[in-house]
Amino acid sequence: MHPSQYAILNMKNYFEIAEEYAILEKQYANFTLNFWIDMVIYPAFLVLSLVFLGQSIGVFTVMSIHKTVTKWQEYIRYLILKQEIHEWRAVVQSIGGPFISTNDTAYQSYVYADGMQRLLGSFLSKESSKCL
């Protein structure tokens, strides 16, 4: 099976994935100061203070660890979705798409979701006609 056929036949809800990607892209597309503080500097400070200063683990420490882990999970999910959207782009462009356009780059993932949805519909209608 060709990789583009696999991407199309995966039968995902492309628009839900595009929505999730758009939300995460707003948070993680640019490395802001808050990104570095929340995901690198403060966790390093926390570990150093726990190990070298012998501070005890309290409620606020646990909440901070939870926040850091959650942010890292979201960031990794963003990177995975970014790669998936890139694959959609390659598939849609390989057949001459995209078929709609947008002036706002924040919504570009929806353009590729539309192309993938159209390809899936086209592929399924061809498959069902072959069965007859």
d(C-alpha 82, C-alpha 59), whole Å: 34
Largest CA distance in the chain: 74
**pLDDT at residue 132 in the model:** 42
Amino acid at 113: A
Which candidate, 114, 101, 118, 90, places its Cα nearest to that of 17?
A: 114
Average pLDDT over residues 35-55: 89
Backbone angles phi, psi at 93, to 5 degrees: -70, -25
d(C-alpha 107, C-alpha 25), whole Å: 10
Average pLDDT over residues 60-71: 91
Asked whether residue 131 carries a pLDDT value surpassing 60, the answer given is: no
Average pLDDT over residues 3-14: 66
All structural domains of the chain with their residue ranges:
3-131
d(C-alpha 21, C-alpha 80), whole Å: 9
Asked whether residue 21 carries a pLDDT value surpassing 70, the answer given is: yes
pLDDT band of residue 3 (cuts 50, 70, 90) is low
Average pLDDT over residues 104-118: 92
pTM recorded for the entire structure: 0.82
